[in-house]
Amino acid sequence: MAPNFLFATGIENSNPTLDGGRRRVDELAKCGHYEKWSLDFDLVRELGIRVLRYGPPIHRTWLGEGRYDWGFADLTFEDLRRRNIAPITDLCHFGVPDWIGDFQNPDFPALFADYAGAFARRYPWVQLYTPINEMYICAAFSALYGWWNEQLASDRAFVTALKHIVRANVLAMGTILQSRPDAIFIQSESSEYYHAENPGAIRPAEIMNARRFLSLDLNYGRRVNSEMYEYVMDNGMTREEYHFFMEHRYKHNCIMGNDYYVTNEHRVCADGSTRSSGEVFGYHVITRQYHDRYRLPVMHTETNLQEGATGNEAVNWLWKEWANVLRVRNDGVPVVGFTWYSLTDQVDWDTALREDNGRVFKVGLYDLDRNIRPVGRAYKQLIADWREVLPTQSVCLQVPVTMPEDYATRHDARQRADAASDRDDRSAAAANANSSGT
């Protein structure tokens, strides 16, 4: 039976490159997952979690066009299936294989769609996907701030990376749906807000607050505002590329994943420079902004805070984020899940993976020796306390998730057939509307 609410965690699988592509940051390696993957899955079960944000290392799996090494993925995904843990499969997390190069490569979208389709065919029991993680952040860090991958810092490079990343995500959704008509896509995207710190900063803050929506606007086929239309056109997007996003819509299969950290809100200066503002609005206010724009079910897909001197900092942040989730639900927004990210501590995220210092970032439910942290005990208790209460206390829909053990059952077959029929009906309606000129 599927869970009524998707309590989740994740195993960090970032793998961007640095130094002009000469060095790769592999978080699965840094955190010891390649050696301890079975123990890590034990810890997921120990917490009472049935949903895991997880994906194969793309740079080790995708060897070339039509060439794959599924060895590690076979081990891990079949073990998740045996344990009846539903993966939200994260296929691309901030990096691509060396042979692709980087996100400036115009061949990336079509090639990535083939990779996603190959994965879906090999693991047909997988239903939940995040094809490309944090598309806006990936494009900004790679091509606007000059930190990763192509390490460029211009509006044109950013728009190029963004249009390729989002197109790849859209095409991947289409190929996955061919194998799994009832696939559900959970777009894990950073929820940002920019505060003007003085009147001179109002204009740059307005531009940044419009730009933060670009990835999801394109992904969901929502027309961007006139200023952002001029921005993307002035920086290399063609009319045909823009129309592609307006014509390929898979919103019916989507949940909007919102990531929120204490660093997600920014103070903007008159010269356009920014710095962290800390929590001002918080998850509740910003998520309402995103929901008002897209009108989709919502999942809180990432949050954490580093354990500090008192040992209670992360526990208190967990409580605050959970209170925000409940507030959003009580306001009528369909919130379907919550995630503490990640399962274990991470390494070098204090510098956003820009430096290879080997510093442990104490944000996990467990430390890197796999000892539970106070926030891990608190999250385990939170799940136990709220798991059965939420369905009776909320008007929220239940996500039609098929757990791994239920794959290929009669109910699952009916659900997939209904999804395929519904998709065909929507396609026919869209074609009729286009032919009639409406």
Place of tokens 């077959």: 413
For domain 6-432, give the CATH superfamily. Answer: Glycosidases (3.20.20.80)
For the chain, give every domain's residue range: 6-432
3-state SS string for 285-303: HHHHHHHHHHCCCEEEEEC
Asked if pLDDT for residue 431 goes beyond 50, the answer is: no
Q: Cβ-count burial of 38 within 10 angstroms (0-12 exposed, 13-18 middle, 19+ buried)? A: exposed
Q: What digits encode the pLDDT tens for the residues 87-129? A: 999 999 999 999 999 999 999 999 999 999 999 999 999 999 9
**369 CB-near residues (< 8 Å, 6+ apart):** none
Nearest CA-CA partner of 83 in 131, 124, 51: 51
Asked if pLDDT for residue 391 goes beyond 50, the answer is: yes
pLDDT bracket for residue 436 (50, 70, 90): very low
Query: Percent of the chain beyond pLDDT 70?
Result: 91
Q: What digits encode the pLDDT tens for the residues 166-210? A: 999 999 999 999 999 999 999 999 999 999 999 999 999 999 999
The model's pTM is 0.93
pLDDT bracket for residue 418 (50, 70, 90): low
pLDDT at position 4 is 85
Nearest CA-CA partner of 173 in 94, 69, 85, 248: 248
pLDDT at position 424 is 59
